[in-house]
Amino acid sequence: MIDEIYDLFIWNATMTPEEYEARVKKGLALAERVQYLYPFLQPMIPGHSKSVWEPCARVLAARSDEALEPYLYQLFEWLQDLTWPGADIIRDRLLKIPFHRLEDSWKLSVTIARREGDEGWLENLEDFKKEARK
């Protein structure tokens, strides 16, 4: 089923925006039946790079806080580059979760970003924290 969902999420230049959105909606409906969310965390589809990330982010954003909890660190990885497809969707969804429930995963992300010297990710994480605490 995951392969079928990915196929629906892959955009190509022959589709109109309306055709693509109709395909994505079919994929989103199928994804509602998928219990484990790992396949939607920034998957790399050979030959398609990040083309499925925005619809995958929509799948994740539709899930409950409890369903997302085991994946919080991976969701923070999406904030490494806010120009990535779906990063804005994930950021907005994370902001809906009380910060105290995210804090351990946020701290882990900060630690890894520092170790990797990823200044952009650190800045995005700090900005996220400021926004989450408003």
- 7-16: pLDDT as tens digits: 999 988 788 9
Residue 120 tokens read as 């952009």
Q: What percent of the chain has pLDDT over 70?
A: 100
Q: Most distant CA pair in the chain: distance in Å?
A: 45
Q: Is the pLDDT of residue 110 over 80?
A: yes
Distance CA 5, CA 29 (A): 9
pLDDT tens-digit readout, 47-67? 777 889 999 999 999 999 999
Confidence band for 29, pLDDT divided at 50, 70 and 90: very high
With contact defined as beta carbons under 8 Å apart, do 108 and 74 qualify? no
Average the pLDDT over 13-37 and give the result.
95
